[in-house]
A and B are shown apart, each in its own frame.
Chain A
Amino acid sequence: MQALQQYIDLYKEHHEVIDKHSARVLNALRPEALRCIESCELPTTKHEDYQHTDLVAMYAPDYGLNITRIELPTQPQEAFRCDVPNLSTQLYFLVGDNFYRNNRNKELPDGVLVGSLRDMAEAHPELVARCYGKIADMSKDVTVALNTLLAQDGFFLYIPKGVVLDKPIQLVNIIGGGVSMMHNRRILVVAEEGAQAKLLVCDHSEEDGITQLISQVTEIWAGKGAVVDYYSLEENATCVQRISSTYVHQEADSNVLVNGITLRNGTTRDNYHIALEGEGAEAQLCGMAIADGDKRVDVYTHIDHSKAHCNSNELFKYVLDDNAIGSFAGRILVREGSQKTEAYQSNKNLCASTTAHMYTKPQLEIYADDVKCSHGATVGQLDQQALFYMRTRGISESEARMLLQFAFMSDVIENVRLDALKDRLRQLVEKRFRGELSQCQQCAMRTQKQ
């Protein structure tokens, strides 16, 4: 309880300041969030869903919070040049958990809203209130409740009915500044009927030896027939702890792709909840994690089929080296009456060292009788025969291992529906396996210190 209590105390003592620097729509949920937190505890590693992530240890440090919203002295545009080749994006920044209000923004189709969640909640309260906190269920996850209690800003994307956003939207989260902080971010995406958008969220932090805690809650509303791509790319320093929860609500005939990629991290816990709540909805959930050293990647997924004629396809792959620990728990729930559901899940993992550990737990829970569902999970080593074959052709063992590991990840990259991002990912993944990359090479991002 100690770990949580400090944040409860902080809120009680400073709630006026927190509210003052946020928006009414966000503030409105805080009392309820407080009730949720006070009525429960952080799950320990004895809890079935948290065996491999020690939440108590994650939240225990006395992190600073930027509740008065001091603008960190950063020029992200000057510092950050993540130019995915041929991918021209609308670029936005969150510095810590503070939206960076840049003025260089570009022309967007009529009615599209992109920007600070706090500003948007003040300007369009009904629009934000309709979905904010409605897709993520804080009564079931204390980390979501805590995020709701403390989050003051974040990112909001709204695409009106029938509007197709051609250009992908890119949100870059920059962590740095040399102070140990807790960052409570909130992302809300609302795609109305027939709307289409692609959002790429990148996490970047410098290897500066300072412990940071990121708490991110993403909510995505996909209206009838909407098409949404959500890519999340983590490239964080080893001392960054991250807990991120992504909640997707899908109406009939909507199509949502979620791809979570962990290239570099410290300790990561990613939760994905996808609710297919209209007939004909389709979800693709995939992800990959590359972890070495003492890194930890723990993914929990939950796909909820509550209507008939919905499809879901899930694919997660891990490559673990050194002492890395990976964990995947994937649950698919097919509720009564969800006939003609097709739900597939696959989790494949490579342990490249004898000391890496992978825990995988596929779960199917089916209450309908006319469905097609499958799950598969494998943990293996690199194919020794293939390795030898390549070596007889003069390819060094390290190069051969790299090629095989890269090949292993290729189908997750193939699932990306943005060609330029696909190319960029190939480069990033290859460099990651070659160990050439301590930071995204193109990004000379720096948090300028005064």
Chain B
Amino acid sequence: MLQIKDLHANINGKEILKGINLTVRPGEVHAIMGPNGSGKSTLSSVLTGNPAYEVTQGSVEFYGKDLLALSPEDRSHEGLFLSFQYPVEIPGVSMVNFMRAAINELRKYRGEEPMSATEFLKLMREKRAIVELDNKLASRSVNEGFSGGEKKRNEIFQMAMLEPRLSILDETDSGLDIDALRIVAEGVNKLKNENNATIVITHYQRLLDYIAPDYVHVLYKGRIVKSGGPELALELEEKGYDWIKKELGEI
């Protein structure tokens, strides 16, 4: 579904991604790990079309379409989802209005009629249960006054609503206590099927105990320097990144 070839990207003229190659197929879970500043969040920003980043080289195909040519909203309509590391607070925009706008724009893109209010509320109720999101949160402004855990649960709730084909979870585990981590991970697992895929960006093995990856990649200095199976994550947990740096001849 996703094919990234030799992807280079800048922010403010500084090159962060220096040639990423990655292929993701339906049903797969990929974990991307790496030290701070290696370009993990940049990769998710570039894939979702954050205008702050400039792609200088390479290509990204998503179900045969040139992903980089699409607007952020059309990438979403095509089935790409990003769970933000830092979900944005939007005072004055209620979760209900926000989600209804998102759902109806998706339906419009697919040539479907807007969802009725009853249907929509029913869907909200159903999907809220997946991440045990309180009804009160759903009636508040988007992320405003949410705790760290609530914000992350809200991200997964939105993912459940939009049913993306490819989800990128950008450090969804950061700032979560054990219970919240379990709820979020279980939510992700419930949404998983053979037709969708997940890219999990994380620093720690901990999340991968809950969301089992098929592949683990190490991103370092803007490149994927090592790929392997789930055992690679365990090895990293044990040995740290110095081991990789040694392999690269840096230490």
Question: Cβ of A407: which chain B residues have Cβ within 8 Å of it?
Answer: 90-93, 141
Nearest neighbor of A405 in chain B, beta-carbon distance: B92
* Total A-B contacts with CB atoms under 8 angstroms apart: 76
A391 to B77, CA, bound (A): 10
Contact with B along A381-419 (1 / 0, CB 8 A): 001111011111111110110011011101100000000
B32 at interface (Cβ–Cβ under 8 A)? no
- A392 near B87 (CB under 8 angstroms)? no
Q: Are B93 and A403 in contact (CB under 8 A)?
A: yes
If A403-B93, A407-B91, A407-B93 touch, does A391 touch B101 (CB 8 Å cutoff)?
no
User: Which chain A residues border B97 with CB–CB below 8 Å?
Assistant: 403
The listed residue (A384, A386, A393, A410) touching B158 by CB distance below 8 A is A393
The reply to whether the CB of B243 lies closer than 8 angstroms to some CB of chain A is: no
Chain A CB within 8 A of B84 CB: yes
Residues of B within 8 A of A383 (CB): 88, 90
> Which residues of B sit under 8 angstroms from A403, Cβ to Cβ?
90, 93, 97-98, 101
B50 within 8 A of A: yes
Minimum CB distance partner of B106 in chain A: A394
**Is A392's CB under 8 angstroms from B48's CB?**
yes
- Residue on A with the closest CB to B164? A394
Q: Is B162 an interface residue (CB 8 A)?
A: yes
Q: In chain A, what residue has the closest Cβ to B45?
A: A388
Given contacts A390-B98, A403-B98, contact A395 B105 (CB under 8 A): yes
Give residues of chain A (135-177) contacting chain B, Cβ–Cβ below 8 Å. none
Separation in Å of the B98 CB from the closest CB of chain A?
A: 7
Measured between beta carbons, the chain A residues less than 8 angstroms from B75 are 392
Which listed residue (B49, B88, B89, B105) contacts A396, Cβ 8 A? B105
On whether the beta carbons of A394 and B92 are closer than 8 Å, the reply is no
Please tell me if B76 contacts chain A, counting CB pairs below 8 Å.
yes
The distance in angstroms between the C-alpha atoms of A14 and B72, with both chains bound, is 66
> Main secondary structure on chain A at its contact with chain B?
helix
Q: Is the CB of A397 within 8 A of B90?
A: no
Q: Which of A389, A404, A407: most chain B CB closer than 10 A?
A: A389
B residues in contact with A391, CB < 8 Å = 49, 71-73, 76
> A411 contacts which chain B residues (CB < 8 A)?
92
Q: Does B133 contact A (CB under 8 A)?
A: no
With contacts A391-B76, A392-B82 known, is A399 near B101, CB below 8 A?
yes
User: Are A394 and B109 in contact (CB-based, < 8 A)?
Assistant: yes
List residues of chain B with CB within 8 A of the CB of A410: 92
Selected from A384, A386, A394, A408, the residue in CB contact (under 8 A) with B105 is A394
Chain A residues lying within 8 Å of B89, measured Cβ to Cβ, are: 386
Measured CA separation A391–B45 after assembly (Å): 12
Of the listed residues B81, B84, B91, B109, the one surrounded by the most CB atoms of chain A closer than 10 A to its CB is B91
Cα-based distance from A404 to B89 in the complex (angstroms): 11
- In the assembled complex, which residues on chain A have CB atoms less than 8 Å from the CB atom of B82? 392
Q: B residues within 8 A CB of A386?
A: 88-90
B240 interface residue, CB < 8 Å from A? no
The answer to the question of B51 belonging to the interface, with a C-beta cut-off of 8 Å to chain A, is yes
| Closest-CB distance, A429 to chain B (whole angstroms) | 12
A390 to B93, CA, bound (A): 11
In the complex, what's the smallest C-beta–C-beta distance from B45 to chain A, in angstroms? 9
User: Are A394 and B90 in contact, CB atoms less than 8 angstroms apart?
Assistant: no
Partner of B73, one of A384, A394, A406, A408: A394
Q: Mark B10-50, 1 if CB is under 8 A from A, else 0.
A: 00000000000000000000000000000000000000111
**A388-B51, A388-B72 are known contacts. Are A393 and B93 too (CB-CB below 8 A)?**
no
Interface pair A393/B51, CB less than 8 Å apart: no
Distance between Cα atoms of A132 and B119 in the complex (Å):
57
Measured in the bound complex, the distance between the Cα atoms of B91 and A386 in whole Å is: 10
What's the nearest-Cβ distance from chain B to residue A439, in Å?
A: 25
Distance between B160 CB and nearest chain A CB, rounded to angstroms:
13
Tell me, in angstroms, the Cα distance from A399 to B109 when the chains sit together.
14
Interface centre among A385, A394, A403, A408, by most B CB within 10 Å?
Answer: A394
CB distance from B172 to the nearest CB of A (A): 15
* B-chain residues with CB within 8 Å of residue A384 when the two chains form the complex: 51
Q: For residue A385, which residues in chain B have a CB less than 8 angstroms away from its CB?
A: 88
Nearest to B81 among chain A residues (CB) is A392
In the complex, chain A residues whose CB is within 8 Å of the CB of B183: none
Q: Does B102 contact A (CB under 8 A)?
A: yes
Q: Quick check: B92 and A408 within 8 Å, CB to CB?
A: yes
In the complex, per-residue mask of A225-243: 1 if CB is within 8 Å of any chain B CB, else 0: 0000000000000000000
Q: In the complex the two chains form, what is the Cα distance from A410 to B97 in whole Å?
A: 13
Residues of A within 8 A of B77 (CB): 394
- For A388, the closest partner residue in chain B by CB is B50
B-contact bits for A357-392, CB 8 A (1 contact / 0 none): 000000000000000000000000001111011111
Closest B residue to A394 by beta carbon equals B76
Q: Give the distance to chain A from B218, nearest Cβ to Cβ, in Å.
A: 26
| Min distance, Cβ A431 to any Cβ of chain B, angstroms | 15
Q: Least Cβ distance of A428 to chain B in Å?
A: 17
Residues of chain A contacted by B48 (CB below 8 angstroms)? 392
The answer to whether A395 touches B90, judged by C-beta atoms less than 8 angstroms apart, is no
Among B81, B88, B90, B105, point to the contact of A399 (Cβ < 8 A).
B105
Q: CA separation between A406 and B98, bound complex, in Å?
A: 12
Query: Across the interface, which residues of B come within 8 angstroms of A406, CB to CB?
Result: 92-93
Q: How far is the CB of A214 from chain B (nearest CB, A)?
A: 32
A390 to B90, Cβ gap below 8 A? yes
Contact B88 A394 (CB under 8 A): no
- Whether A395 pairs with B92 at a CB distance below 8 angstroms is no
Q: Is the CB of B71 within 8 A of A395?
A: no
Knowing A407-B93, A410-B92 are in contact, say whether A397-B73 is a contact too (CB < 8 A). yes
Question: B50, B73, B76, B89: which has the most chain A beta carbons within 10 Å?
Answer: B73
User: B97's closest neighbor in chain A, by CB?
Assistant: A403
Indicate the member of A385, A392, A395 with the most B CB atoms within 10 Å: A392
Point out residues on A near B: beta carbons under 8 Å: 383-386, 388-397, 399-400, 403-404, 406-408, 410-411
8 further A-B pairs in the complex, CB-CB below 8 A; given A392-B82, A407-B92, A408-B92: A388-B50, A388-B72, A391-B71, A392-B76, A399-B101, A403-B93, A403-B101, A407-B93
- 10 interchain pairs, CB-CB under 8 A: A384-B51, A386-B88, A392-B48, A392-B81, A392-B82, A393-B102, A403-B93, A404-B93, A407-B91, A407-B93
Q: Lowest 7 CB-CB distances: which A-B pairs, in order? A: A407-B92, A394-B76, A391-B72, A389-B88, A393-B102, A410-B92, A407-B93
